[in-house]
């Protein structure tokens, strides 16, 4: 999208300025400009600063201001759009029944071992048409947009066969084209082990590497490769083999690491230089410090820990040890059926002891870095995409404070207003 827009008089213009992940103490530096303005031309940010200065510069430049729309953000905070860097947004069916089983005491992994869980979503996704998946995906993206999300990552992994994995990735390409949100696709064929591959996981990795990855790469269907590196799913050795080969083929790597047990996923992420390692609920001290040193972004998903009634990842310790932390929803039909950014923010504040500033960094520039997009989005810096949110409140501090409720009033994508709560919550306006 390529709009021309001036947003002015923001009580706080929170820039999150930067082009790489912020580590440790840097995560508290969010760059606040009082009475701030941001100018977007042809979809890109061109000026950021105090309103009086920005308007004076614009006037002095002699630019024709007639094509510019203008928004007065008096009494409102303005930030970069949120980036949800870990979701499983394309799937068929739901698992409400399974949720009820979990409430009665069944564990997430027991349900998967019995052929439910991810495997039940695999059956529903295989039988859904590309159109059905796209229609459901568009509605989910509208909901994410209303939470202030301007870029979202989505994973395959509910096919576990060539045709359905490809279908999920094609749906993500359709969604990216049809919806204002940017959709970043990840290939996650190694998401679960089908019964016919139980005990033959290496054969399944061979199948993925020989028969699926080449098509994914040649058709540019994904940017990342992810794996569920977990006890009774894919071992460290299998995950290493898949990811190193996928990287050689041109994909970037991510891992679901140390989610249910401590397996050494964090150490593996550091060893192979993954772009991010995600979950990390049970990651070891050594693994976390190796990740911090290797510059791997730790993507934490507190709504999943909440939903699974598991302990939270040690976000405070990771930041204090100099690591870069991102926050995401993990939106999926099983372990975390929620696309709520305010829920994630509240849990990160209350149970991981992250400050409001660290939460803002984790949802913007660090989340962009988790998708290798920190050069193009995630902050209000000249040259970046004009992806901006306007809150209904005067400060970013309302993001975790207003518990579970979205504070986002307007969403701007590439300089175009795409969501406005004041227009009856209309999306893609």
Question: Which residues bind to ligand NIG, rule: CB under 6 A?
Answer: 88, 117-118, 121, 228, 256, 259, 304, 330, 332-335
Q: With beta carbons less than 8 A apart as the criterion, state whether 395 and 56 touch.
A: no
Which residue number is nearest to Fe ion in terms of Cβ?
330
Provide the minimum distance between the beta carbon of 109 and Fe ion in the complex, in angstroms, as a whole number.
14
Provide the minimum distance between the beta carbon of 93 and Fe ion in the complex, in angstroms, as a whole number.
17
Q: Of the two residues 144 and 391, which places its CB atom closer to ligand NIG in the complex?
A: 144
Q: Of the two residues 8 and 252, which places its CB atom closer to Fe ion in the complex?
A: 252
DSSP letter for 25, please.
G
Question: Residue 167 touches which of Fe ion, ligand NIG, none (CB < 5 to 8 A by kind)?
Answer: none
Distance CA 409, CA 251 (A): 36
CA distances from 191 to 33, 119, 131, 156, 286 (A): 43, 9, 23, 8, 26
Give how many residues touch Fe ion by CB under 5 A.
1
Q: Of the two residues 267 and 330, which places its CB atom closer to ligand NIG in the complex?
A: 330
Secondary structure (DSSP) of 264-314: SHHHHHHHHT-SEEEE-TT--HHHHHHHHHHT-EEEE-HHHHHHHT-PPP-
Q: Of the two residues 165 and 259, which places its CB atom closer to ligand NIG in the complex?
A: 259
Closest CA to 299 of 321, 329, 270, 273: 329
Provide the minimum distance between the beta carbon of 85 and ligand NIG in the complex, in angstroms, as a whole number.
12
Provide the minimum distance between the beta carbon of 192 and ligand NIG in the complex, in angstroms, as a whole number.
8
Question: Residue 228 touches which of ligand NIG, Fe ion, none (CB < 5 to 8 A by kind)?
Answer: ligand NIG
In sequence order, the β-bridge partners of residue 300 are 327
Provide the minimum distance between the beta carbon of 262 and ligand NIG in the complex, in angstroms, as a whole number.
15
Provide the minimum distance between the beta carbon of 88 and Fe ion in the complex, in angstroms, as a whole number.
6
Distance CA 267, CA 174 (A): 36
Q: Of the two residues 33 and 303, which places its CB atom closer to ligand NIG in the complex?
A: 303
Closest CA to 208 of 227, 230, 231: 227
Q: Of the two residues 117 and 154, which places its CB atom closer to ligand NIG in the complex?
A: 117
Q: Are strands 5-14 and 77-80 parallel, antiparallel or unpaired?
A: parallel
The greatest distance separating any two alpha carbons of the chain, rounded to the nearest whole angstrom, comes to 70
Distance CA 95, CA 333 (A): 6
Provide the minimum distance between the beta carbon of 35 and ligand NIG in the complex, in angstroms, as a whole number.
41
Which residue number is nearest to ligand NIG in terms of Cβ?
334
Question: Residue 9 touches which of Fe ion, ligand NIG, none (CB < 5 to 8 A by kind)?
Answer: none
Question: Residue 307 touches which of Fe ion, ligand NIG, none (CB < 5 to 8 A by kind)?
Answer: none
Which 296-355 positions form the footprint of Fe ion (CB under 5 A)?
Answer: 330
Provide the minimum distance between the beta carbon of 228 and ligand NIG in the complex, in angstroms, as a whole number.
5
Q: Of the two residues 259 and 381, which places its CB atom closer to ligand NIG in the complex?
A: 259
Closest CA to 337 of 107, 110, 143, 114: 143
Q: Of the two residues 91 and 419, which places its CB atom closer to Fe ion in the complex?
A: 91
Provide the minimum distance between the beta carbon of 225 and Fe ion in the complex, in angstroms, as a whole number.
14
Q: With beta carbons less than 8 A apart as the criterion, state whether 279 and 258 touch.
A: yes
Secondary structure (DSSP) of 212-236: IHHHHHHTT--SEEEEEE-TTSB-H
13-23 residues labelled b (16+ CB within 10 A) or e (exposed): bbbbbbeebbb
Provide the minimum distance between the beta carbon of 304 and ligand NIG in the complex, in angstroms, as a whole number.
5
Burial class (CB in 10 A: 0-12, 13-18, 19+), 50: middle
Q: Of the two residues 51 and 85, which places its CB atom closer to Fe ion in the complex?
A: 85
Binding status of residue 259 toward Fe ion by CB under 5 A? no
Percent helix, strand, coil in the chain, to 5, is: 40, 25, 40
Q: Which two tokens stand for residue 121?
A: 């979503």
Q: Of the two residues 165 and 330, which places its CB atom closer to Fe ion in the complex?
A: 330
Question: Residue 335 touches which of Fe ion, ligand NIG, none (CB < 5 to 8 A by kind)?
Answer: ligand NIG
Q: Which two tokens stand for residue 194?
A: 């089908």
Q: Which residues contact Fe ion (rule: CB under 5 A)?
A: 330
């Amino acid at each position: 999208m390529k709009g021309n827009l001036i947003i002015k008089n923001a009580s706080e213009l929170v820039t999150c300025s930067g082009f790489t992940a912020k580590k440790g103490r840097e995560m508290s530096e969010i760059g606040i400009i009082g009475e701030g303005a941001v100018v977007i031309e042809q979809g890109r940010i061109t000026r950021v600063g105090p309103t009086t200065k920005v308007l004076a510069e614009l006037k002095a430049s002699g630019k024709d201001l007639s094509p510019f729309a203008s928004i007065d953000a008096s009494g409102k905070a303005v930030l970069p759009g949120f980036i949800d860097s870990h979701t499983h947004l394309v799937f068929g069916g739901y698992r409400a029944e399974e949720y009820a089983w979990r409430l009665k005491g069944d564990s997430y992994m027991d349900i998967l071992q019995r052929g439910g869980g991810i495997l039940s979503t695999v059956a529903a996704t295989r039988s859904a048409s590309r159109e059905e998946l796209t229609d459901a995906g568009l509605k989910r993206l509208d909901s994410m947009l209303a939470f202030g999300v301007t870029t979202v990552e989505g994973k395959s992994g509910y096919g576990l066969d060539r045709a359905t994995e490809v279908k999920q990735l094609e749906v993500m390409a359709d969604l990216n084209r049809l919806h204002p949100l940017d959709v970043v696709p990840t290939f996650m064929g190694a998401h679960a082990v089908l019964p016919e591959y139980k005990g033959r996981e290496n054969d399944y990795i061979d199948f993925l590497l020989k028969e699926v990855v080449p098509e994914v790469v040649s058709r540019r269907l994904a940017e990342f490769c992810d794996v569920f590196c977990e006890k009774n799913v894919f071992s460290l050795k299998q995950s290493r083999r898949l990811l190193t080969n996928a990287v050689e083929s041109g994909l970037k790597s991510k891992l679901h690491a140390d989610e249910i047990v401590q397996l050494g996923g964090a150490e593996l992420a550091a060893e192979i230089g993954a772009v991010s390692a995600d979950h990390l609920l049970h990651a070891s001290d050594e693994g976390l410090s190796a990740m911090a040193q290797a510059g791997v972004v730790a993507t934490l998903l507190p709504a999943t820990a909440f939903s699974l009634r598991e302990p939270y990842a040690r976000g405070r310790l990771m930041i204090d040890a100099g690591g870069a932390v991102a926050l995401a929803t993990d939106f999926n039909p099983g372990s975390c059926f929620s696309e709520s950014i305010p829920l994630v923010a509240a849990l990160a504040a209350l149970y991981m002891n992250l400050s409001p500033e660290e939460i803002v960094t984790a949802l913007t520039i660090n989340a962009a870095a988790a998708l290798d997009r920190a050069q193009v989005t995630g902050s209000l810096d000249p040259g970046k995409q004009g992806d901006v949110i306007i809150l209904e409140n005067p400060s970013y501090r309302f993001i975790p404070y207003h518990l579970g409720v979205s504070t986002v009033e307007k969403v701007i994508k590439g300089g175009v207003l795409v969501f406005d709560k004041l227009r009856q919550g209309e999306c893609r306006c």
